[in-house]
Amino acid sequence: TMWSATRLAQQQVQTSPTLRQPWHDTPRLIPFINACAERWQTIPLSLAGWRFKEAQCVQEGTLRLAYSKPVGATVGDFAYRVKQVYAGQTTPYFNLPGQGDTGCFSQSVTFTASPDLRALPEADSQIQRLTTFAQRMRLPINLQEEDNRQVSANGEELILPWHSFSFSLET
């Protein structure tokens, strides 16, 4: 029965000392956005003529930056300028093999831990709120449910008592 499965999942969580709810280590939304924005506001809009294209900030603490190649520029120009500006603290990479028209590099972002002890809202409610926000802003949203199974050190499969979702919004 559904109740038995739920009870079993709760017991597995209680008996597994290594099982940690993912939101305990995830930065809160506003501090996440602020830390990412603070970091990407300092990046140059152009490097060796290559124009800023996009930034992707991820909760693991990385800001990935992409630049577009203008006519007449080379990957060597971009690589040299990135190493010069960032004093060897990052390594540029390109869409190679391929056209070599996108140059990228990463920067670290530090997030302040601030555990949220509030009760979690229902998943359907949160999904509807997020989707409504994206639709009102006319932003494309990609929302995916993550696999809620985990394999323990001794090979037992645990079904986690929560659901995780990943999403991306393009602005």
Cβ within 8 Å of residue 23, ≥6 positions away: 116, 120
Task: Write the CA distances from 18 to 22, 99, 114, 147, 150, integer angstroms.
Answer: 12, 45, 20, 18, 11
Does 1 map to a domain?
Answer: no
| Boundary of a domain, candidates 62, 78, 108 | 108
DSSP string, 88-100: TSS--EESTTTT-
Can you give the pLDDT at residue 49? 97
* Residue 23, in any domain of the structure: no
Cis before residue 161, ω within 30 degrees of 0? no
Same domain as 45, residue 98? yes
pTM of the entire predicted model? 0.65
The verdict on 77 and 123 lying in the same domain is no
12 assigned to some structural domain: no
Q: Whose structure tokens read 């037992």? A: 156
The number of folded domains in the chain is 2
**Residue-number span of the structural domain to which 44 is assigned:** 33-108
Instruction: Please give the pLDDT value at position 102.
Output: 98
pLDDT digits (tens, 9 = 90+) for 97-113: 999 999 999 999 998 87
Burial class (CB in 10 A: 0-12, 13-18, 19+), 3: exposed
Token readout for 64 is: 């990935």
Would you call 111 helix, strand, or coil by DSSP? coil
On whether residue 93 sits in a domain, the answer given is yes
Are 42 and 85 found together in one domain? yes
Give CA–CA dist 63/106, Å, rounded: 5
- The list of the chain residues with pLDDT below 50 reads 1-15, 17
